[in-house]
Chains A and B, each alone.
Chain A
Amino acid sequence: MSNNEVEEAIKRIMSHKGVVGLIVINHEGIPIKSTLENSLSVQYAAQVTQMVDKTRSMIKELDNNNDLTFIRLRTKKHEVLVCPEKEYSMIVIQNPIDT
Chain B
Amino acid sequence: MEWELIRMNETKDNDADKVGLNIFADWNAESASFPSTWREKREFASKVMQTEDIQVHHQEMQCEDDQEKAVQTDFEEINVEVNTLQPPYPPSLFAFFTKVTDDMCRALEENLDPFSVEVFKDSDDLDVFASAARASKEFILRSSSVSSEMFGASCVAWNKIGTQIAVAYCAHAHTDWCFHRAPISSWNLRRMLNTKNNPAHVEIFLPTCVTSMEFHPFHPSVLAVGTYSGCLAILDFSLVGDQQQPTDAKMAGKGTEKLPFYPNNQGSHFGGGEQINDLGYFMTRPEHGLSVTSIQWVKLNSSQSRDLLSRNENPSQFCIITAGKEGHICFWSTNTSNTRVFLERKFIVWADNISADVPLSLSSRCVLKQMGLVGLGACKDDPYTCVLSTAGGFIFQANLGSNIEAYTAMVELKTESSISEEKLLDPGLVYVSQHSDCPEVIHCSPFHRDVFLVGNSNGEVLIQNMLQHGVMFKYNARKYSHHKTLHDAKWSGRPTMFGVVMGKFVQIFDLRKGQTPIVIIPHENMVTQIAFNETEIGTLASCDKEGMVHVWNLPRKYSSIEPHELDVLIRSENSNRQDEQDEDENEDDETLDETMYQE
Contacts and interface: CB of A to CB of B under 8 A. Distances in A.
B117 A99 contact: yes
A34 B82 contact: yes
Contact of A16 (B80, B97, B109, B122): B109
Interface stretch (B84-92, B246-254, B469-477): B84-92
B101 A12 contact: yes
A6 interface: yes
B63 interface: no
A80 to B, nearest CB: 11
B119 A5 contact: no
Contacts of B85: 32-33
B98 A13 contact: no
Given A13-B101, A74-B119, A3 B89 contact: yes
Contact of A99 (B89, B99, B111): B111
Contacts of A87: 92, 96
Nearest to B131: A97
B101 A76 contact: no
A97 B117 contact: yes
A88 B87 contact: no
A42 to B, nearest CB: 5
A interface, over-half SS: mixed
Interface in A1-37: 1-3, 5-6, 9, 12-13, 16-19, 24, 30-34
Interface in B104-121: 104-105, 107-109, 111-112, 114, 116-117, 119-120
B419 interface: no
Interface in B451-477: none
B104 A32 contact: no
B93 interface: yes
Nearest to B88: A3
Interface in A69-99: 70, 72, 74, 76-77, 79, 81, 83, 85, 87-88, 90, 92, 94, 96-97, 99
Given A3-B89, A6-B97, A85-B96, A42 B108 contact: no
B94 interface: yes
A17 B104 contact: no
A41 interface: yes
Contacts of A90: 96, 100, 104
Contacts of A72: 107
B99 to A, nearest CB: 7
Nearest to B125: A76
Given A41-B82, A42-B80, A99-B117, A85 B99 contact: yes
Interface string B114-138: 1011011010010000000000000
B81 interface: yes
Q: What band does the interface of chain A fall in when counting residues whose beta carbon is under 8 Å from B? A: 35 or more
A38 interface: yes
A33 B84 contact: yes
Q: Which of B84, B94, B100, B112 has the most CB of A within 10 A?
A: B100
Given A3-B88, A9-B101, A85-B100, A94 B94 contact: no
Contacts of A94: 108, 111
Contacts of A41: 82
B100 A6 contact: no
A79 B111 CA distance: 9
Contacts of B93: 6, 24, 32, 88
A92 B84 contact: no
B120 to A, nearest CB: 6
23 contacts: A3-B88, A3-B89, A5-B94, A13-B101, A13-B108, A17-B112, A18-B108, A30-B83, A31-B82, A32-B82, A32-B83, A32-B93, A38-B80, A41-B82, A42-B82, A74-B119, A74-B120, A81-B104, A83-B104, A87-B92, A90-B96, A97-B117, A99-B117
* A-B pairs with lowest CB-CB distance, top 10: A3-B87, A1-B94, A16-B108, A96-B111, A83-B100, A88-B96, A9-B101, A32-B85, A9-B97, A31-B82
Interface of A: 1-3, 5-6, 9, 12-13, 16-19, 24, 30-34, 38, 41-42, 70, 72, 74, 76-77, 79, 81, 83, 85, 87-88, 90, 92, 94, 96-97, 99
Given A3-B88, A3-B89, A94-B111, 20 more contacts: A1-B98, A6-B97, A12-B105, A13-B101, A16-B109, A19-B108, A30-B83, A31-B84, A32-B84, A32-B93, A34-B82, A38-B81, A38-B82, A72-B107, A74-B120, A77-B120, A83-B103, A92-B108, A94-B108, A99-B111
